[in-house]
């Protein structure tokens, strides 16, 4: 009697029948890493087809350890594992080794902690090469070595969950972009200066909050997909606060908690000082008192001194013309790269940074709602402000949490440390 056979898929996509007793059981973990509408993929050396970063589980290794190791070896980036997404079986024949496998494939949604990919000649893997960020919309199931339809469905769902843009119009006719997901008490997330609301998605905050809260992420005016304005008068604290209330109205929310990082915290604190609609406030890495002081103020003033004449030379004194970053000197283009600023963003940055220098003082006693002020011990800007207001805080609604050794960026990026603190405060 012939032995029972199983149909396996070869690297070329052909069917090869293999005796069942020759199959090797192979558990494997694969990472779905989506960012800005792109997915991180590698190519199979022997077929040229795309595959997700990941691979076989080694003895004594947990699935999460496999994901991190394989992704590092194949792409050079570090990841954080967010959640399990899907399980699928596969019978495949690996031609180079002439072995047949019964694959147990575990798919996980992950986020990148670093972004620099390995060069092609640096990939430390026998079967994968050429790590690339690939536009999801350009992919087809046939582009993948295996499970292409499943992988595309998972990454498309992940991209849609991260951000679907809505718009509302503020009272001064400025278009404000936002997205929302989840259900429950509302939390509004405000990003740092020069960035956008995607930070909260890519940083893993939205995914962690969406099961318990209605999560609203906003592009502050002059940022992201919201309107970019070149007049500093458009960036008053009253107008920026009204933007947030307009978004809340569009979401059908009366009261909400604000989590604001850096510049976002500064914008949010003015609304928390003026409106009863802010139920709670989490200030992350910002300062109280003057918005900009010390070295930060000096840097802002020097930036404006250098860039304002350049922008006005292109756009005209009324700033109604166009600005072409391609016309900048190589030195100026290099400076923008150092600051990680898109050149097209400079006119709006000049406007809101100029307005910010004149924003009024907000102290602990001005905040109407319970407020968590969270910052790292290495954030000198926030620490100086804390020392100034230490006595006033005792009689206010502000509670302080200082994380030893954290820099300003770690206050946001080290989500495993800061998230539990902010979540406990927001649920209290």
What mean pLDDT comes out for the span 155-167? 79
pLDDT at 170: 96
pLDDT at 123: 80
Domains of the chain, earliest start first? 5-161 (3.90.79.10), 164-291+359-427 (3.40.50.1820), 294-356 (no CATH)
Least confident segment among 19-33, 264-278, 316-330: 316-330
390-418 per-position pLDDT tens digit: 999 998 999 999 999 999 999 999 999 99
pLDDT at 47: 83
Indicate the pLDDT class of residue 191, thresholds 50, 70 and 90: very high
The larger pLDDT score, comparing residue 365 to residue 122, is at 365
pLDDT at 2: 67
Question: Which residues are 186's β-sheet partners?
Answer: 214
pLDDT at 207: 81
273-291 per-position pLDDT tens digit: 999 999 999 999 998 987 6
The larger pLDDT score, comparing residue 386 to residue 162, is at 386
pLDDT at 420: 96
Residue 1 pLDDT greater than 80, yes or no: no
The larger pLDDT score, comparing residue 427 to residue 335, is at 427
What mean pLDDT comes out for the span 166-193? 94
The answer to whether the beta carbons of residues 190 and 258 sit under 8 Å apart is yes
307-363 per-position pLDDT tens digit: 888 888 888 887 778 888 888 888 888 888 887 777 778 888 888 888 888 898 999
pLDDT at 52: 95
Indicate the pLDDT class of residue 297, thresholds 50, 70 and 90: confident
206-247 per-position pLDDT tens digit: 988 988 999 999 999 999 899 999 899 999 999 999 999 999
Indicate the pLDDT class of residue 294, thresholds 50, 70 and 90: low
- Mean of all residue pLDDT scores within the chain: 90
100-154 per-position pLDDT tens digit: 999 999 999 998 877 788 888 888 766 777 899 998 988 999 999 889 999 999 9
pLDDT at 112: 85
Residue 104 tokens read as 């147990």
pLDDT at 38: 86
Q: Pairing between strand 256-261 and 278-284?
A: parallel
pTM attached to this predicted model: 0.65
Q: Is the Cα dihedral 75, 76, 77, 80 positive or negative?
A: positive
pLDDT at 126: 67
pLDDT at 128: 75
Three-state secondary structure along the chain?
Answer: CCCCEEEEECCCCCEEEEEHHHCEEEEEEEEEEEECCEEEEEEECCCCCEECCEEECCCCCCHHHHHHHHHHHHHCCCEEEEEEEEEEEEEEEECCCCEEEEEEEEEEEEEECCCCCCCHHHCCCCCEEEEEEEEHHHCCHHHECCCHHHHHHHHHHHHHHHCCCEEEECCCCCEEEEEEECCCCEEEEECCCCCCCHHHHHCCHHHHHCCCCEEEEECCCCCCCCCCCCCHHHHCHHHHHHHHHHHHHHCCCCCEEEEEECHHHHHHHHHHHHCCCEEEEEEECCCCECCCCHHHHHHHHHHHHHHHHHHHHHHCCCCCCCCCHHHCCHHHHHHHHHCCCCHHHHHHHHHHHHHHCCCCCECHHHCCCCEEEEEECCCHHHHHHHHHHHHHHCCCCEEEEEECCCCCCHHHHCHHHHHHHHHHHHHC
HSE, side-chain direction, 13 A CA sphere, residue 387: 7
């Amino acid at each position: 009697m012939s032995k029972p056979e199983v149909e396996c898929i070869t690297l070329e996509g052909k069917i090869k029948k293999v005796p069942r007793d020759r199959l090797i059981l192979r558990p494997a973990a694969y990472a779905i890493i989506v960012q800005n509408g792109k997915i991180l993929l590698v190519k199979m050396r022997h077929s040229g087809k795309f595959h997700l970063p990941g691979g076989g589980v080694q003895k004594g290794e947990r699935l999460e350890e496999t994901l991190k190791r394989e992704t590092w070896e194949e792409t050079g980036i570090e990841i954080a594992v967010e959640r399990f997404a899907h399980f699928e079986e596969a019978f495949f024949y690996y031609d180079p080794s002439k072995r047949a496998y019964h694959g147990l494939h575990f798919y996980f949604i992950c986020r990148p902690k670093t972004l620099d990919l390995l060069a092609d000649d640096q990939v430390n893997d026998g079967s994968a090469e050429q790590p690339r960020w690939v536009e999801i919309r350009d992919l087809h199931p046939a582009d993948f070595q295996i499970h292409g339809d499943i992988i595309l469905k998972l990454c498309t769902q992940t991209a849609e969950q991260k951000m679907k843009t809505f718009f509302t119009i503020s009272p001064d006719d400025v278009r404000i972009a936002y997205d929302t997901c989840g259900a429950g008490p509302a939390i509004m997330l405000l990003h740092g200066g020069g960035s956008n609301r995607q930070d909260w998605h890519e940083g893993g905050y939205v995914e962690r909050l969406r099961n318990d809260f209605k999560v609203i992420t906003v592009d502050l005016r002059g940022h992201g997909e919201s309107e970019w304005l070149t007049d500093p008068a458009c960036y008053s604290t009253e107008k920026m606060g009204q933007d947030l209330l307009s978004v809340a109205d569009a979401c059908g929310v009366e009261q909400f908690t604000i989590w604001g990082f850096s510049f976002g915290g500064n914008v949010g604190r003015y609304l928390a000082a003026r409106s009863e609609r802010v139920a709670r406030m989490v200030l992350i890495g910002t300062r109280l008192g003057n918005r900009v002081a010390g070295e930060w103020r000096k840097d802002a003033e020097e930036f404006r001194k250098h860039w304002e004449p350049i922008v006005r030379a292109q756009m005209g004194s009324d700033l109604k013309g166009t600005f072409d970053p391609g016309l900048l000197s190589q030195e100026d283009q290099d400076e923008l790269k150092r600051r990680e600023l898109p050149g097209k963003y400079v006119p709006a940055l000049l406007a809101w940074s100029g307005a910010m220098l004149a924003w009024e003082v907000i102290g602990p006693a001005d905040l109407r709602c319970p407020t968590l002020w969270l910052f790292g011990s290495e954030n000198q800007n926030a620490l100086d402000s804390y020392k100034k207001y230490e006595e006033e805080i005792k009689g206010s609604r502000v509670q302080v949490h200082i994380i030893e050794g954290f820099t300003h960026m770690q206050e946001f990026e080290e989500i495993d440390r800061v998230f539990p603190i902010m979540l406990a405060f927001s649920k209290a």
